Amino acid sequence: METNNPETYDGRQDHIPALKTPEIESFTNVYGGRDYTIDFTVPEFTAVCPKTGLPDFGTIYVSYVPTDRCVELKSFKEYILSYRNVGIFHEFVVNKILDDLVKAIDPKSLKVIGDYNARGGIKTIVTREYKKA
């Protein structure tokens, strides 16, 4: 498969898994021996369409069962804001957020949903789930 073809997007998003983003901080889960779910929503997520350069708007939903660490939400807010000027496909946003959260807190399970506003008559919802082995 040809990469970096100017006629396609192949190869143009290869840097996304290694994209430098702010650290997602965590704190000790003092109820680490119990299973419970933490849900939070980012209703004003914004990134940039890598094709048009126009903003993409959506809602990011996160649901996880913590082990020893929980997400510190102010740092997550700063992390989310770092996407504002990044040209990134919807699919890769969800995958990158999930990978970064797993790295930060090593949860028992985690689900990230990107529910994007319709654009050009197409609505996109991307879901990725993780379960600790």
Q: Within a domain: residue 60?
A: yes
Q: What is the pLDDT of residue 104?
A: 98
Q: Residue 2 above 90 pLDDT?
A: no
Q: Within a domain: residue 7?
A: no
Which residues are marked as active site? 49, 56
Q: Residue 10 above 90 pLDDT?
A: no
Q: Is 7 annotated as a binding residue?
A: no
Q: Within a domain: residue 13?
A: no
- Its domain, for residue 88, covers 21-131
Residues 6+ apart with CB under 8 A from 77: none
Q: Residue 11 above 50 pLDDT?
A: yes
Q: Is 101 annotated as a binding residue?
A: no
* Average pLDDT score over residue span 122-127: 96
* Other Cβ atoms closer than 10 A to 97: 25
Q: What is the pLDDT of residue 29?
A: 98
How many domains, in total, are found in the chain? Answer: 1
Residue 71 to residues 4, 94, 111: CA-CA distances in angstroms?
Answer: 36, 17, 14
Q: Is 102 annotated as a binding residue?
A: no
Q: Within a domain: residue 66?
A: yes
Picking from 2-16, 28-42, 53-67, 84-98, which range would have the lowest pLDDT averaged per residue? 2-16
Q: Within a domain: residue 6?
A: no
User: Which CATH number fits the domain that encloses residue 70?
Assistant: 3.30.1130.10
Q: Residue 5 above 70 pLDDT?
A: no
